[in-house]
């Protein structure tokens, strides 16, 4: 017998609640308890057998958890200490919309979806049922407001746009508000009893006067349905969350007008369900479909000193400085003591952040008009350069900003300077100057970091198409990002040596940053690169051998990229602009760190480190004034748990060849069009995400590791991508698109439903793809040329093909296809494939025409509807078995064999037609123990013993993952790990019982 233990569960979280120093979150059938100040997960308690926790109420030490037709009254102690509380679960005959304790805390009220309130004691004894007469159509929302023992109101939102407010004890209707259109998704009454706030399908929020029934105001802002709404800050504000992924804060004015104050992008994929605010600290917690629990600081400016400091012209005058009419700021640089700024009239000004005073450092004609400002924070140095090639370097004392040294020089080598960049590494200060003239050299000056005297001069011939835009110095090399997505590597020790040219590394134009990441013992070095058009890549370069390779590339979801780096936690942080906002985004964990309305990328701006890990300063000029926005290290964590995809996971694949860190790498492919590369920990099942690949433009269909370094993914629009995985680097795994499968037309609209492969020698492989229009193609991939060549093409009939397998049997190649008509259809393709193995692999000149696939050699009817998943095992030299599950709820085993004449024939050898209450979506084989595992939409995982050729059900367990759609298995010698995907993801361990 076998045992299945669930290690972890990730999925939608519908409700969140602050309670003392805790955040309680309904997370599937569990409640998670976190200390929100430290982010520590204190406990995960299973509350319900099957239902999800939709809401949590707290009174004293008691907790009332409810969801669907379940509820439970427990204590905070229980939830903090126990792993399972399912013994406390009670059921109700109708869906519970809201549940509350009475004022005394001695009884509870349950509002059901038919607008009735069941009043019962804490042990579930029903004291009575309350309702208003005649209104029995279904509700989507509602809430109970308890003021005292006599005053309890029920606020019910109907599907037809009505809001019914009634008195619980008198069972009398007080109001029926009909102002909204469509279903009402939330209704809530303020603590002071003054207002009722409602939100609906129509995307508006309405505020009603509880005394008069008058509609006070309607507020707009959300761009999709609004799911939840809470009063906070002594009923002075509202917070709302929506399908549009945002959380918004609204001010309630004295006259009852509701005005949007802030909007936060809190979750990435559709639907934020839960929200609560800790008013005393102004922190919001939100939860959504992506399973992330996000903390948002609603007052970062006050608390952290994240203030935006604006320096008005008046401020300078107060400090005895004078700015002429028309004198504007041309540049600035942030140092330990404060800011250095230069004006269009050549004034260099210094701001001391301790004394908050400005004073003048220098006035120099050379710095008027066109000046470029940069510097190096580590050595407290600022570098100015004008377009006549005059350079001024200034070094300041770290603590007080006194000018320590200053050097001016004029560069003769070039006639004009249009770009001046600065780089620093291990006591080398380098300044590059570039002229617009192609025949001028690219100039690089090295300065002594103490005296600022020039100590070296390098000149390189400019390659064609060279325009320096970003700089990185590393060992003997100067790496320059350029326009047209190109990069150039110059050698200091040998300026005669031609630059290593890396042209068109990514779509788009200007490379905005180049950063050294790490070096391997073999001399390969990894650099992170961003370009303005939103791409970032990791490039592994071996300069002496003049080799380079892109090991990772991706595009951010929207906006421009100006730079990126790894932070202290090893998360990849990107920053740039989204229309008129500057933003910083945690790309690893997928959340926005900050955003600042600064007017857009065309302004003068710069992001600086602020000398403390995790702290930054954004300086920009807006309306002629310098703005200083500090981004402090948060004193609360930004997420409590990092989730996964916000939409259905369609496929999962584990890289089983080697462990990675304390577990295994895997990919998840989702309806949200992204693929995530993550690792699950063997012991705990904890998942850590590395990358979210956004290359696909349509919902994913399949993903599969075909070797330790190749992965293939497929989707609609005939998208099939071959990815290469790289696990050599310590910063994390990297994954890069190697090749796209050529589509059949310019505007492809077929879906690649499935594929299978067969590895050949030298990294080449055979690939079979099946399509939604019944087409079948077999390709050969040549790793030397990185090309797919079509070998065979044809079609089955007219129906969609769902599965394909390539089987190598006794020197023969069999193609097996599972269409929606429930058949298993097969072809012997040996005469095309075998011939080609040797030929094509060796010599790929002049791809010849593909062969036409003839009518199938045979087919057998296995299922009454579409085959959802297929696995094949060759059992002997001339025999294989096909395991299938279908839309018809059946599991089947079919046996195929080659007869002496070499023909294939097959028959169903075993069929379980009630293998699930609904569609069985996936199956996996556990190799060493002859088990077959299925998952189905009825949320059951079934394990069959197949050692005797039959299907003997050994285990059936409930999975907490809704819309169960896929699974993947990793076999270890004595156990197996199972990943289950659907709306969420869970990790389970399968062990044999002795």
Partner 1 sequence: MGKSSKDKRDLYYRKAKEEGYRARSAFKLLQLDEHFHFLDNVTRVVDLCAAPGSWSQVLSRRLFDESTSDTSSKRIVAVDLQPMFPIDHVTTLQADITHPRTLNKIMELFEGEKADFVCSDGAPDVTGLHDLDEYVQQQLILSALQLTTCMLRKGGVFVAKIFRGRDIDMLYSQLGFLFDRVVCAKPRASRGTSLESFVVCLGYNPPAHWTPKLDVNASIEDFFQGCDIGRLTLDDKLPSYTEEPRDIAEFLSCGGLGSFDSDATY
Q: Is 182 or 614 the residue whose CB approaches partner 1 more closely?
A: 182
Residue 50 near partner 1 by CB under 8 A: yes
Q: Stretches 69-77, 209-217, 442-450, 902-910: which one binds partner 1 (CB under 8 A)?
A: 69-77
Find out whether 633 and 615 touch, Cβ atoms under 8 Å.
Answer: yes
Q: Give, as ranges, the residues between 107 and 146 that touch partner 1 (CB under 8 A).
A: 112-114, 116, 118, 120, 123-126, 131, 133-134, 136-138, 140
Classify residue 908 by burial, with Cβ atoms within 10 Å: 0-12, 13-18, 19+. middle
Classify residue 61 by burial, with Cβ atoms within 10 Å: 0-12, 13-18, 19+. exposed
Q: What is the CA radius of gyration of the chain?
A: 33
Residue 531 near partner 1 by CB under 8 A: no
Q: Is 270 or 836 the residue whose CB approaches partner 1 more closely?
A: 270
Q: For residue 966, how far is the Cα from the chain centroid?
A: 20
Strand partners, 969: 978
- Letters for 160-179 (x = contact with partner 1 by CB under 8 A, - = none) are x-------------------
Classify residue 717 by burial, with Cβ atoms within 10 Å: 0-12, 13-18, 19+. middle
User: Which one of residues 143, 155, 246, 271 is an interface residue with partner 1 (CB under 8 A)?
Assistant: 271
> How close are the terminal C-alpha atoms of the chain, in Å?
7
Structure tokens at 824: 């298993």
- Letters for 201-240 (x = contact with partner 1 by CB under 8 A, - = none) are x-----------------------x-x-------------
User: Which one of residues 100, 202, 243, 440 is an interface residue with partner 1 (CB under 8 A)?
Assistant: 243
Residue 424 near partner 1 by CB under 8 A: no
Residue 365: phi and psi, rounded to 5, are -50, -35
Structure tokens at 439: 């025949």
Q: Stretches 144-152, 164-172, 454-462, 916-924: which one binds partner 1 (CB under 8 A)?
A: 916-924
Residue 630 near partner 1 by CB under 8 A: no
Local structure of 209: helix, strand or coil: strand
User: Which one of residues 751, 777, 812, 881 is an interface residue with partner 1 (CB under 8 A)?
Assistant: 751
Count of residues that bind partner 1 according to CB under 8 A = 85
CA distance 457 to 445: 5
Q: Is 93 or 602 the residue whose CB approaches partner 1 more closely?
A: 93
**CA angle, 794 as apex, 789 and 795 as ends, to 5°?**
135
Min dist CB 616 to partner 1, Å, is: 36
CA distance 10 to 57: 23
Structure tokens at 279: 């008013």
Q: For residue 651, how far is the Cα from the chain centroid?
A: 17
Residue 919 near partner 1 by CB under 8 A: yes
Local structure of 88: helix, strand or coil: helix
Q: Is 289 or 540 the residue whose CB approaches partner 1 more closely?
A: 289
Residue 186 near partner 1 by CB under 8 A: no
Residue 94 near partner 1 by CB under 8 A: yes
User: Which one of residues 24, 44, 64, 92 is an interface residue with partner 1 (CB under 8 A)?
Assistant: 92
Find out whether 351 and 638 touch, Cβ atoms under 8 Å.
Answer: no
Q: Give, as ranges, the residues between 888 and 907 that touch partner 1 (CB under 8 A).
A: 888-890
User: Which one of residues 41, 42, 58, 86 is an interface residue with partner 1 (CB under 8 A)?
Assistant: 86
CA distance 889 to 862: 12
Residue 913 near partner 1 by CB under 8 A: yes
Find out whether 633 and 614 touch, Cβ atoms under 8 Å.
Answer: yes
Residue 48 near partner 1 by CB under 8 A: yes
Min dist CB 173 to partner 1, Å, is: 13
Q: Is 318 or 917 the residue whose CB approaches partner 1 more closely?
A: 917
Residue 151 near partner 1 by CB under 8 A: no
User: Which one of residues 26, 157, 463, 866 is an interface residue with partner 1 (CB under 8 A)?
Assistant: 866
Residue 917 near partner 1 by CB under 8 A: yes
- CA–CA distance from 668 to each of 160, 704, 867, 919 (Å)? 39, 9, 21, 21
Q: Stretches 81-89, 523-531, 807-815, 837-845: which one binds partner 1 (CB under 8 A)?
A: 81-89
Min dist CB 839 to partner 1, Å, is: 34
Q: Stretches 212-220, 466-474, 585-593, 796-804: which one binds partner 1 (CB under 8 A)?
A: 796-804
Find out whether 605 and 596 touch, Cβ atoms under 8 Å.
Answer: no
Residue 821 near partner 1 by CB under 8 A: yes
Strand partners, 254: none
Find out whether 928 and 967 touch, Cβ atoms under 8 Å.
Answer: no
Residue 918 near partner 1 by CB under 8 A: yes
Residue 759 near partner 1 by CB under 8 A: no
Min dist CB 113 to partner 1, Å, is: 8
């Amino acid at each position: 017998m076998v045992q299945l233990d669930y290690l972890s569960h990730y999925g939608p979280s519908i409700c969140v609640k602050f309670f003392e120093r805790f955040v309680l979150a309904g997370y599937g059938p569990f409640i998670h308890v976190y200390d929100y100040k430290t982010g520590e997960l204190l406990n995960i308690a299973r509350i319900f057998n099957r239902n999800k926790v939709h809401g949590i109420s707290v009174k004293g030490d008691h907790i009332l958890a409810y969801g669907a037709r379940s509820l439970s009254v427990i204590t905070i102690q229980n939830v903090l200490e126990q792993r399972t509380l399912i013994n406390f679960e009670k059921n109700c005959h109708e869906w519970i919309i809201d549940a509350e304790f009475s004022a005394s805390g001695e009884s509870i009220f349950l509002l059901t979806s038919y607008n009735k309130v069941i009043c019962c004691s804490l042990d579930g004894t029903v004291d009575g049922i309350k309702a208003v007469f005649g209104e029995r159509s279904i509700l989507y929302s509602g809430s109970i407001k308890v003021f005292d023992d006599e005053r309890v109101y029920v606020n019910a939102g109907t599907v037809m746009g009505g809001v019914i407010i009634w008195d619980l004890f008198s069972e009398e209707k007080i109001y029926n508000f009909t102002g909204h259109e469509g279903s009402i998704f939330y209704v809530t009454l303020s603590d002071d009893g003054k207002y009722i706030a409602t939100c609906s399908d129509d995307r508006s929020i309405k505020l009603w006067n509880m005394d008069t029934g008058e509609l006070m105001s309607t507020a707009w802002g959300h761009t999709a349905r609004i799911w939840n709404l809470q009063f906070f800050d002594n009923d002075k504000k509202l917070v709302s969350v929506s399908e549009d992924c945002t959380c918004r804060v609204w001010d309630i004015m004295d006259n009852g007008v509701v005005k949007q104050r802030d909007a936060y992008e809190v979750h990435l994929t559709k639907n934020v369900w839960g929200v609560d605010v800790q008013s005393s600290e102004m922190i919001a917690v939100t939860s959504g479909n992506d399973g992330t629990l996000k903390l948002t600081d609603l007052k970062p400016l006050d608390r952290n000193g994240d203030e935006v400091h604006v320096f008005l012209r008046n401020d300078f005058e107060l400090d005895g400085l004078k700015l002429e009419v028309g004198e504007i700021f041309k540049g600035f640089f942030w140092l330990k003591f404060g800011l250095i700024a230069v004006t269009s009239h050549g004034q260099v000004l210094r701001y001391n952040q301790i004394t908050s005073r400005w004073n003048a450092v220098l006035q120099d004609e050379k710095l008027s008009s066109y000046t470029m400002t940069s510097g190096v924070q580590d050595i407290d140095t600022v570098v100015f350069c004008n377009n006549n090639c005059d350079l001024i370097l200034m070094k300041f004392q770290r603590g007080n900003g006194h000018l320590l040294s200053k050097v001016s020089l004029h560069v003769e080598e070039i006639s004009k300077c249009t770009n001046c960049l600065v780089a620093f590494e291990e006591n080398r200060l380098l300044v590059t100057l570039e002229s617009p003239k192609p025949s001028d050299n690219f100039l690089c000056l090295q300065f002594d970091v103490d005296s600022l005297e020039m100590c070296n001069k390098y000149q390189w011939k400019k390659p064609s198409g060279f325009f320096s835009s970003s700089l990185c110095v590393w060992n003997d090399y100067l790496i320059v990002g350029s326009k047209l997505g190109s990069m150039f590597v110059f050698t200091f020790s040998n300026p005669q040596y031609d630059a290593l040219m890396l042209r068109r590394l990514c779509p788009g134009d200007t490379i905005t940053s180049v950063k050294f990441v790490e070096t391997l013992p073999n001399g390969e070095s990894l650099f992170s690169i961003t370009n303005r058009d939103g791409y970032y890549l990791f490039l592994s370069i071996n300069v002496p051998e003049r080799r380079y390779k892109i090991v990772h590339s991706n595009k951010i979801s929207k906006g421009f990229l100006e730079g990126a780096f790894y932070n202290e936690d090893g998360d990849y942080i990107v920053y740039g602009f989204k229309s008129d906002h500057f933003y910083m985004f945690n790309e690893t964990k997928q959340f926005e760190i900050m955003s600042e309305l600064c007017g857009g990328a065309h302004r003068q701006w710069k992001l600086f480190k602020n000398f403390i890990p995790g702290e930054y300063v954004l300086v920009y000029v807006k309306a002629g004034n310098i703005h200083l926005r500090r981004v402090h290290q948060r004193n609360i964590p930004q997420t409590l748990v990092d989730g996964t995809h916000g939409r259905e996971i369609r496929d999962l694949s584990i890289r089983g060849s080697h462990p990675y860190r304390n577990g295994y790498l895997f990919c998840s492919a989702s309806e949200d069009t992204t693929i995530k590369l993550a690792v699950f920990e063997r012991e705990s099942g904890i998942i850590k995400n590395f990358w979210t690949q956004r290359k696909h433009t349509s919902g994913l269909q399949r993903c599969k590791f075909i070797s330790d370094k190749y992965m293939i993914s497929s989707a609609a629009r005939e998208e099939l991508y071959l990815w290469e995985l790289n696990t050599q680097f310590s910063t994390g795994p990297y994954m890069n698109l190697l090749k796209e499968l050529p589509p059949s037309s310019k505007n492809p609209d077929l879906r690649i439903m499935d594929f299978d492969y067969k590895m050949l020698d030298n990294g080449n492989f055979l690939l079979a793809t099946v399509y939604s229009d019944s087409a079948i193609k077999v390709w050969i991939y040549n790793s030397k040329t990185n090309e797919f060549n079509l070998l065979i093409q044809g079609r089955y009939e007219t129906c969609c093909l769902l599965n394909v397998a390539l089987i190598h049997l006794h020197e023969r190649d069999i193609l097996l296809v599972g269409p929606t008509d429930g058949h298993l259809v097969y072809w012997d393709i040996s005469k095309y494939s075998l011939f080609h193995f040797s030929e094509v692999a060796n010599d790929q000149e002049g791809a010849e025409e593909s062969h036409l696939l003839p009518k199938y050699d045979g087919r057998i009817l296995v299922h009454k509807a579409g085959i959802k998943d297929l696995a094949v095992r060759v059992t002997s030299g001339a025999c294989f078995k096909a395991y299938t599950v279908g839309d018809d709820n059946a599991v089947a085993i079919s046996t195929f064999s080659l007869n002496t004449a070499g023909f294939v024939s097959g028959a169903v050898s075993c069929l379980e037609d009630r293998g699930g209450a609904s569609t069985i979506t996936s199956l996996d084989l556990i190799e060493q123990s002859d088990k077959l595992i299925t998952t189905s939409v009825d949320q059951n995982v079934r394990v069959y013993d197949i050692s005797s050729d039959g299907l003997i059900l050994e285990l059936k367990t409930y999975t907490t993952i809704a819309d169960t759609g896929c699974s993947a298995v990793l076999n270890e010698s004595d156990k197996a790990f199972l990943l289950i995907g659907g709306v969420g993801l869970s990790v389970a361990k399968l062990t044999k019982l002795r």
